[in-house]
Chains A and B, each alone.
Chain A
Amino acid sequence: MSELSVNHLLGIKYLNKRDIQLIFETADHFKEVINRPIKKVPSLRDITIANLFFENSTRTRLSFELAEKRLSADVINFSSAQSSVKKGETLIDTVNNILSMKVDMVVMRHPNPGAGVFLSKHVNASIVNAGDGAHEHPTQALLDSYSIREKLGEVKGKKIVIVGDILHSRVALSNIFALQLQGAQVMVCGPKTLIPKYIDKLGVKVESDLRKALNWCDVANMLRVQNERMDISYFPSTREYTQQFGVNKALLDSLDKEITIMHPGPINRGVEITSDVADSKQSIILEQVQNGVAIRMAVIYLLASKIKH
């Protein structure tokens, strides 16, 4: 029967193939809903959701908030910049204080890997991980796979290359798990310093030549260079990075076949991809953003249906 196998969405690692299928099927229905003249359904009118963002975010936060509002949930927002966290309150205390205001679900982004798992063991609410450090970002991986499925029909058997800063990327890890679970082949490509040492143990191919990687793949997911997570210099200069790992229109046009370009945002235009690539027909970046709302609605709806009345 149609129920998720988990009570929290902490990472793709904890999901099975059937869960992903169910989330996609539910998202199909919500995608139809958000394209109606009135884009709202009353399903979650008795659910309250807290969005806790201990780290900056624009897209994910707006996308979650919109998804919650489209489902008629009550929403409270919290960002650590203006909060008592600065006064030294612990994570569990902060969350328990919020939960004592009768909150049913927590969507959390946190700079520390494992923050979601930790919280799920200590508090009584459904937890949705909206990114924990360089660990996982499950809803991003789900919407990426969903967008591939929409564009290419299915994910199974497709070849996807993830390009850029794999080391600091939670999007990369969640995507690797999600794509492999659905039977896709995954390759990572980037400067050696930004590829984790034992990444091949996850069963992914590693390539350092961007042209070879692009010629192999059906879809290229271009990641942002996460300067804010870099404590040391991983490559000599941005210009050199762009020359080796940036995609421009000339490179794209010189390939054997037409590939699809994705980017989780925010884009550093002119660094990992040029503007004409980002805005080209081959890019599905804005479709990803639209699908993000439908996917998050599906995740929240399916988790909420497991909260007992």
Chain B
Amino acid sequence: MSQKVLLNAKEVNIILHRLACQLIEKHNNFENTVLIGLQPRGIFLAERINKILKEDYKVKNVQLGHLDITFFRDDFRRGDKPLEANKTNINFLVENKTIVFIDDVLHTGRSIRAALTAIQSFGRPHEIELLTLIDRRFSRHLPIQPDYRGRQVDVINHERVKVNWVENDGEDSVYLINK
């Protein structure tokens, strides 16, 4: 197994600030916008963006939720491993809101498809956007594209992109892992 650094801590930091600025450009004071981090790995990115918006850019009203898509996935009983659920934590209404889904890596697009179904249980949003740190090009199974992307990468099928966060993995970095 070999691995290569795609982004180091400094680069991740610059990209996160750029993404936060792009969100502000579009959503102003976040009056009618909510951020939804997708479980399990998207929540770290969502928390980080949320922190940058609040602390560095003094945006006050950012609402952040966590959405688990396990029960909405289309590969139940198809994989070798059983699907493990995580916590959903959305304590606000999404009716008529603009939602920004936040996930670390966009690959086949199937997780986002599941998230689009899952979020309907919480109301009818006005609009849904997608923010991802890494966009794996040419790997989509569904017609889904990000509205905000950190970095676009070309990755062949048997390679994997792993995003690490200080809170969870000890460092901010993105690796390309060759299995």
Contacts and interface: CB of A to CB of B under 8 A. Distances in A.
Interface in B64-117: 68, 70-73, 76-78, 81-88, 117
B68 A29 contact: yes
A226 interface: no
A36 interface: yes
A32 B87 CA distance: 9
B85 A305 contact: no
Contact of B71 (A41, A302, A307): A41
B122 interface: yes
A40 interface: yes
Given A1-B82, A38-B120, A42-B117, A33 B71 contact: yes
Nearest to B69: A41
Contacts of B70: 29
Contacts of A44: 76
A105 to B, nearest CB: 12
Interface residues of A, number: 26
Contacts of A38: 120-122
Given A29-B85, A32-B88, A37 B72 contact: no
B76 A43 contact: yes
B40 to A, nearest CB: 13
Contacts of A1: 81-82, 84
B72 A42 contact: yes
Contacts of B123: 37
B118 to A, nearest CB: 8
Interface string A20-48: 00000110010011001111111110000
Contacts of B78: 309
Contacts of B72: 41-43
Contacts of A43: 71-73, 76
A309 B77 contact: yes
A223 interface: no
Contact of B77 (A25, A33, A71, A305): A305
Nearest to B118: A41
A309 B78 CA distance: 6
A34 B76 CA distance: 20
Contacts of B83: 305
Contact of A37 (B86, B88, B121): B121
B71 A42 contact: yes
B84 A305 contact: no
Given A29-B68, A42-B117, A305-B83, A37 B122 contact: yes
A2 B84 contact: yes
Contacts of B122: 36-38
A308 B85 CA distance: 19
A202 B57 CA distance: 64
Contact of A307 (B73, B77, B85, B86): B77
A3 interface: yes
Nearest to A308: B77
Nearest to A304: B77
Q: Name the residue in A40, A42, A304 with the highest tally of chain B Cβ atoms < 10 Å from its Cβ.
A: A42
B98 to A, nearest CB: 19
Nearest to A29: B85
B72 to A, nearest CB: 6
B71 A2 contact: no
Interface of B: 68, 70-73, 76-78, 81-88, 117, 120-123
Given A40-B121, A42-B117, A43-B73, 12 more contacts: A1-B84, A2-B84, A3-B82, A29-B71, A29-B86, A32-B88, A33-B121, A36-B121, A37-B123, A305-B83, A308-B77, A309-B77
24 contacts: A1-B84, A3-B82, A26-B85, A29-B71, A29-B85, A29-B86, A29-B87, A29-B88, A33-B71, A36-B122, A37-B123, A38-B120, A42-B71, A42-B117, A43-B76, A44-B76, A71-B71, A301-B71, A304-B77, A305-B77, A305-B83, A306-B82, A307-B77, A308-B77
